[in-house]
Structure 1
Amino acid sequence: MTSSSYWAISMPELAKIVSNGGVIGKHSVGKMNSNGLLLLSEHAEYDLLMTNTMFRLDDKCKTTWMHPRTKQWHLIGYVITGWHDPSDFFLTRAKRGADCWTDRRLLRAKLNIRIVPYHSKRSKTIRAAINTARLLSPSYLWEFQTNMDEKFGTLGPLSGGPEEKWNKFHEVTTETAKTILCPKKMVYQDWFDENDEAIQTLLDRKRKAFIDWQNHPNCPALHDRFKDYQTRSQRGLHTMQYQWWEKKVEEVQHYVDTNSSKMLFCIIKTIYGPSMGGTAPLPSADSSTTIKEKEGISARREEHFSQLLNLPSTVDQTAMQQIPQKPAQGNLTSLPPRKKSGLP
């Protein structure tokens, strides 16, 4: 595609193409002919952008070819990218040769290429947590042991290799635990969990009113009815949330007033959920290995702070003795006199 110095189309047509496609920037060079119009059309069709016209540079840094007869420079080379990738370009400019003069210039583009790492898709294995706290109850413990004995008695002695035996044992144990002990429920609380039934009632009424209004969109009464239920639902949800938090604040304040620190931290943990446990690994003293064990991390911290807080003193004692000493003021050790007040 080439661009000449003669206009082949009118300015309104060019403005229409550029405004619809947005394929060139604000810093274009030269005039356009039919080939230029075809190039802009292709760019608009395939969502492309000329990066040469994005940067404010001198014309000598934009043009790439000199006409042999008119000696005028034109832009006939392009660095093209998609509409969504202009931020990846730092600069696009023409480079002139340092050894000899030519009628063509080389285009160079500086890019910031970000390669997205490939992550293989793996199916998430969601393991239901079993409520093992029920085993502390004698009734649940006896029922669990009875079911395990019955199933292993029906299954008979385990046969096969170690892996097959383990798979059978794991399958029977997991199935029995899910049946008797049941999955563990959430240990944290929230305002919509305790008001689930009331919230569902409000939302069902609003949803029914919305469906009635959509079936008869020209009925103002149904529209007003839907707006009324919508307002009631929002007001009811805000009231439930405020009352729930007010109740929890009163409980926290009660535990604070009664100095019940155990119940205070228990209710805070119940509201915000369990904290994520774990210890971050630390590098060794020579940074050759990474310590992951809890005992090793504690020993490394002790070693680090022992070296940090027990550094040898480098103060010269002769310099300390040259510091002038001021006499001690004994009157500072006595208590100040108490002033008599006019109060009885």
Structure 2
Amino acid sequence: MTSVDISRLLAQGAQRLLEGGLVAFPTETVYGLGADAENPQAIARIYAAKGRPANHPVIVHVAPDADLTYWVKSVPAEARALMQAFWPGPLTLILPRAQHIPAAVSGGQDSVGLRCPAHPIAQELLRQFARLKPNGQGGVAAPSANKFGQVSPTHASHVRAEFSGLTESELMILEGGPAQVGIESTIIDLSRLDRGIGPVLLRPGHISAAQIGAVLGAEPAHPDAFAPQVSGSLKAHYAPRTPLYVLSTAQLLNRIEKERIAGRVAAVAFHPPGDTANSDVDWYPCAADPHAYARDLYALLRDLDERGYAAILFEQPPRTLAWQAVNDRIGRAAAAFS
């Protein structure tokens, strides 16, 4: 595809957003399902397409040169420090929502999640959309482009498969290659600083708590009972349709014998056994690096989910801070079957 073709498609995508339509677009984390963040009817189309509960907030994506004071009541020093360090990038900040921003993007809460994506196509879409808006503010509400609770898409083909029932006039899909991070953004709550609460890590991601702590001087706290609800916070989430279990090495080997009764099994392990002659088990090696593991995780889950296995068994990754985001995602995927 030529640069002229890409520019034309981006212009069409920005116009589609202005008209209240849906546009799926690539980011460095996963593909997002986007709509005008200031148009409640457009936001409702996101929720309807995904089958998403109306009280489950979405994240507003903004361009690198966006005026954040338009979207939030205030931008504290902590937010500015994190933006300086990690934006554009896979970090979402939860801040007090400006009164004129629709509550629909926040599930009715007084806070709003903001992120500036690093993917060049996402950035140009946001810039072009902002230029079309009369107020010059082009925020795009965009959860992951999949049905609610299912595996997030990291390729445009995943989006097409997920929303095969929608026509091109109902959903425009922008191509942008595979996502390079592969899991959703880190979410930090800064919305309660005036009450002496925070920063709080609401969802782990590619940017670690240690990296956040290095910027702020102290690592973010764990979520409390009164923390804002955010995307991906449900116990069961990111789940394939095939039953999935996360097991220790010994448990995995024992479980294989049990699951063989039900049919063929996929086993994802760091060091698959040399003897893989068992015709009821297909072994899949996984990356030893947490970032490489995360990048490939959702594509692997989608692939295995389509192969008709009786079960998918994952060897438990290390329980260290470096693996926190990976363990969060596969733990929530497995929770649907616990």
TM-score, length of structure 2 as denominator length: 0.17
**Bigger helix fraction:** 1
Report 1 or 2 for greater relative contact order, CA contacts < 8 Å, sequence distance ≥ 6.
2
**Bigger strand fraction:** 2
- Structure showing greater radius of gyration is 1
